[in-house]
Amino acid sequence: RRRPIAYSPRASPLARLAMSAPSHTAARRILLVDCDAFYVQVARLEDPEGAGRAEYLIVGGSSSGRGVVTSASYSCREFGVHSAMPTGQALRLCPQAMVAPVSRTACSERSRRVRDSLRTLAPLVQAASIDEFYLDLTGMDRMLAGESLVESGRRIQAAVLAASDIRVSIGGGTNRLVAKLAAGRAKPNGVFVVPPGGEADFIAELALADLPGVGPKLVAALSERGLRGVADVRRVERDWLERWLGDGRAEWLLRRVWGRDDSPVVHGERRKSVSSERTFSRDLDTTEELERELLRLSVSVTASLRKEGLRARTLSVKVRTSDFTTRQRAHTFGDPVESDTVVFPVARRLLAELRARRRGRVRLLGVGLSNLVADDVPAQLALFTEGVHAPGDSETDRDRALARTVDVLRTRFGKDAVLPGRIVDPSPGRSETLRSADGREPESPS
């Protein structure tokens, strides 16, 4: 009997070969390849004489202390610096650090090199973010001549470094959850594999906050009942967990604390969200300034969406005020959309609602598109057909045609060739926070 395997028509030749490979073990062989301090590495590669010479390096924000940390070198992390921390606070913790920018284009190119090299090494490769990739080597025993998972990890490390100049840490195990946690143990630039049957013991000593998907609210709710570690939850009877959390959530948590995860590695999985944020060199307060920046973000995220051949059902607007309070509102469209002419009016309304509830000077503004679906627009669109979308919610073929025509012009003449009149004269001093492909912060503080 042949082992069934998830397959995509876009899968690599190795994936098609793996489909016919007989299974010699019941245990899956999953790796997580995690690019170490990815944005720091890219910044050093792009500026070898500047950032490349700095032992203490912060990427994100500015030397004046504005903005937030996108990533920090491991030397800085020893002082308590981590991603999403205000850059000013990071510089107080590590005053000798250099603050450097990094190009989104350069990051995307390095990520592509890593991904392309992995696709020659594994049958199934799934990008979890711009700097994390899951690999499934299940059923490859004969092809790899009995190579252990640790040996596979070291071979993959060397191949990725040769192809992209990016150093990676690799975690391995029988499922994605364990591989993710093992990668954290492997950092930096190591390989750590949990053997089959060792999942429960490996996870036993962890805090609940260490488990992927266990967020601050759930941690706080469990902490109120004296449950702070994995071992604490394991001692509680299932009935009590179901009373506290509900049947579904209790089942999910129990699977987590015992190291169980059946989710597959899906080759070529599309991104889950597209987002863009800007931290300003000075706090903004006027409606005119904020709406101009909101329009700029709307243009950026919808262009990225169309480039991926996607549309979005859900729009979210994020605001962080000068006291670092962060709030967000979202709207779900009746039909998926892709043009800024529809996204911006709704984003403006969401911003107004956030500002009506609580005024304050704004240091960060963000726009996100999620609940993505594949683009199914007909090939021929009528550019000048009559019809206007319903206010703020409905998109017409004319909206899409205009947006795509602008894309063509920007590709040919430059990204600033065609812009809405309100953002032709941009405010100086903006810095953009890079986002990963699934909308998360690019790196965890680990």
- Which sequence positions are flagged as catalytic? 132
Quote the CA–CA distance of 302 and 283 in Å, as a whole number: 25
Long-range contacts of residues 116-119, Cβ cutoff 8 Å, at least 24 apart: 116/163, 117/159, 117/160, 117/162, 117/163, 117/164, 118/33, 118/156, 118/160, 119/12, 119/14
For residue 81, which of 99, 69, 66 has the smallest C-alpha distance? 69
Give the containing element (helix H, strand E) for 20. none
Quote the CA–CA distance of 395 and 311 in Å, as a whole number: 11
Distance of CA 2 to the CA centre of its chain: 35
Render 342-383 in DSSP notation, one character per residue.
Answer: HHHHHHHHHHHHHHHH----EEEEEEEEEEEEE----S---T
Residue 407 DSSP class? H
SS3 433: strand
Which residue type, as a one-letter code, is found at position 235? R
Quote the CA–CA distance of 150 and 190 in Å, as a whole number: 10
Is residue 364 within 8 Å of residue 277, measured between CB atoms?
A: yes
Quote the CA–CA distance of 61 and 383 in Å, as a whole number: 41
312 token code pair: 């979005």
Which residue type, as a one-letter code, is found at position 151? E
Is residue 305 within 8 Å of residue 368, measured between CB atoms?
A: no
| Residue 86: strand pairing partners | 68
